[in-house]
Amino acid sequence: MNIEEVQSTTKKQRIATHTHIKGLGLEPSGRAIDMAAGFVGQKEAREAAGLVVDMIKQKKMAGRALLLAGPPGTGKTALALGISQELGTKVPFCPMVGSEVYSSEVKKTEVLMENFRRAIGLRVKENKEVYEGEVTELTPEETESITGGYGKSIGGVIIGLKTVKGTKQLRLEASIYDALIKEKVAVGDVIYIEANSGAVKRVGRSDAFATEFDLEAEEYVPLPKGEVSKKKEIVQDVTLHDLDAANARPQGGQDILSLMGQMMKPKKTEITDKLRQEINKVVNGFINKGTAELVPGVLFIDEVHMLDMECFSYLNRALESSLSPIVIFATNRGICNVRGTDMNSPHGIPVDLLDRLVIIRTENYGPAEVIQILALRAQVEELHLDEESLAYLGEIGQRSSLRHAVQLLSPASIVAKMNGREEIRKADLEEVCALYLDAKSSAKLLQDQQEKYIS
């Protein structure tokens, strides 16, 4: 018998800059662990971010803002991603860059408001009448085609549903049959159908079929309890921007003028303040009735110094709104001009907005921390380095920048493979260093050979 090892067919995840960040790496007491959840160092900043996470969870930080300030490559974006990981998937996290507001189609303030609304979630609880059970029968009913000819069309579908208490046979419309086909529903699946909308949801395969041999990894669920027809609480998570977009898009009629109007409509349209105010009224009504719960999320604005005075004055007002998310700014600038003015200000942010911010400072990494981060990145990228090459790469990180040292890992691994090795050695790194310049070396070269360049 011939047994061979083959490469796994599972999809490999694309490794991005912050793939290794899994959280803030804090103890239950809130103290930062030296090296945890992909973080190395920055203990004070992580502990401060941990307090922010606690405040967000307790809903005590809505309408407040946070500024992450520090030199380039000190983990500001990583901290913001760590906060989003700690909050979980149910809390909206909307990242954007300061330069995104400059569009020829939409006003700057409109882009900011759209992102503000994306970062505010609404958890809607509805009691809906549903038909739920295991599919025992699925028979489409064929009728003569309306257009004539020999073809036949689906006029409806007869479906049998079974629960612990009993069974029911239902006759459904042809549109619901299309939904059943889309969900890939087969006999033996557990499904539920909404009585009002006809929406179909496949829950999984009935656990009565769990013993059968199946190559596909199925999720087996128990047979539903109670009657086939029942009232069920369904929880839906939407953002305020989803509601804005759904109501801003006119449904239109089926006549030719309506269809032409929809085709000629531009792709990007501004949502009016009047529409947003109406949606806010409806949302507040839901909240007061207890059928919905507001979930303030996080809006992360990186490179905040790219915003101008118009944007900053708008942010001042937006932060005071009753429906406002937690806003996290990040910048690597010191004292510089506020964009579009001659006014100097710390971090390029006007002083009146700075007064509203809680500022978290990130520090430069020490030599030992740089080596730890490089070892962590090598592990994430599944690369092998010996101790000597790791120490040499740490020196490069201290001399130039941590980002440059991280970027040398992948080319060094290719050079090592070309030399017939899996492990990266110091010689491979030296060869790669000779090929690629870092920002400081390039600037020095420009200064030394200034007369050879056009300036």
pLDDT (0 to 100) of residue 255: 46
End position of a domain, from candidates 313, 329, 361: 361
List Cβ neighbours of 33 (8 Å cut-off, separation of 6 or more): 25, 26, 27
pLDDT (0 to 100) of residue 256: 46
SS3 232: strand
DSSP class of 364: P
Residue 125 resides in a domain: yes
Window from 26-35, 171-180, 255-264, 312-321 with minimum mean pLDDT: 255-264
How does pLDDT run across 10-65, given as a tens digit for each residue? Answer: 444 456 666 677 778 888 887 888 877 778 878 888 888 888 888 877 777 666 78
pLDDT band for 264, please (50, 70, 90 cuts). very low
Residues 140 and 269 in one domain: yes
Residue 114, pLDDT above cutoff 70: yes
How does pLDDT run across 289-325, given as a tens digit for each residue? Answer: 888 888 888 888 888 888 888 888 888 888 887 777 8
Residues 308 and 357 in one domain: yes
Helix (H) or strand (E) holding 242: helix 240-248
pLDDT (0 to 100) of residue 46: 87
Burial profile 376-415: b = 16 or more Cβ within 10 angstroms, e = fewer: bbbeeeebebeeebbebbbebbbebbbebbbebbebbbeb
Burial status of residue 264 (CB atoms within 10 A of its CB: 0-12, 13-18, 19 or more): exposed
Q: Quickly count: other Cβ atoms within 10 Å of residue 125's Cβ.
A: 13
Residue 153 resides in a domain: yes
Residues 248 and 195 in one domain: yes
Burial profile 226-251: b = 16 or more Cβ within 10 angstroms, e = fewer: eebebeeeeeeeebbbebbeeeeeee
Residues 272 and 141 in one domain: yes
Maximum separation of any 2 CA atoms in the chain, in Å: 89
Q: At 279, list the tokens.
A: 């949606």
pLDDT (0 to 100) of residue 31: 83
Residues 127 and 273 in one domain: yes
CATH of the domain at 312: 3.40.50.300
Residues 146 and 207 in one domain: yes
Q: Which residue type, as a one-letter code, is found at position 283?
A: V
Query: What gap in Å lies between CA 312 and CA 414, rounded to an integer?
Result: 46
Residues 314 and 437 in one domain: no
Residues 251 and 197 in one domain: yes
Contact status, residue 116 vs residue 318, Cβ threshold 8 Å:
yes
Query: What gap in Å lies between CA 339 and CA 323, rounded to an integer?
Result: 28
Query: What gap in Å lies between CA 141 and CA 152, rounded to an integer?
Result: 10
Residue 6 resides in a domain: no
pLDDT (0 to 100) of residue 151: 62
Q: Quickly count: other Cβ atoms within 10 Å of residue 146's Cβ.
A: 6
For 174, the domain range is: 121-289
DSSP class of 99: G
At CA 266, angle to CA 261 and CA 269, rounded to 5? 110
Residue 101 resides in a domain: no
Residue 341 has phi, psi (to 5 degrees) of -135, 170
How does pLDDT run across 210-249, given as a tens digit for each residue? Answer: 665 554 556 778 888 888 887 777 777 888 888 888 777 6
Query: What gap in Å lies between CA 216 and CA 280, rounded to an integer?
Result: 45
Residues 139 and 265 in one domain: yes
Residue 272, pLDDT above cutoff 60: yes
At CA 429, angle to CA 426 and CA 435, rounded to 5? 150
Query: What gap in Å lies between CA 8 and CA 2, rounded to an integer?
Result: 18
pLDDT band for 1, please (50, 70, 90 cuts). low
For the CA atoms of the chain, what is the radius of gyration?
A: 29
Query: What gap in Å lies between CA 408 and CA 405, rounded to an integer?
Result: 5
Residue 304 resides in a domain: yes
Residue 259, pLDDT above cutoff 60: no
End position of a domain, from candidates 272, 289, 306: 289
Bridge partners (DSSP) of residue 202 are 191
In 3D, which of 22, 70, 28, 25 has the Cα closest to residue 43?
A: 25
Per the structure, the count of domains in the chain is 3
Residue 197, pLDDT above cutoff 80: no
Query: What gap in Å lies between CA 399 and CA 391, rounded to an integer?
Result: 12
268, 236, 315, 285 alpha-carbon torsion, rounded to 10°:
110
End position of a domain, from candidates 232, 255, 289: 289
SS3 404: helix
Residues 206 and 283 in one domain: yes
Average pLDDT over residues 113-134: 84
CATH of the domain at 412: 1.10.8.60
pLDDT (0 to 100) of residue 408: 86
Across the chain, what does the average pLDDT equal? 79
Average pLDDT over residues 416-423: 86
Residue 454 resides in a domain: no
Residue 68 resides in a domain: yes
pLDDT band for 279, please (50, 70, 90 cuts). confident
Residue 443, pLDDT above cutoff 60: yes
Residue 107 resides in a domain: no
pLDDT (0 to 100) of residue 53: 85
Strand stretches in 70-223, DSSP E? 93-97, 120-144, 152-162, 167-173, 189-194, 200-206, 220-221
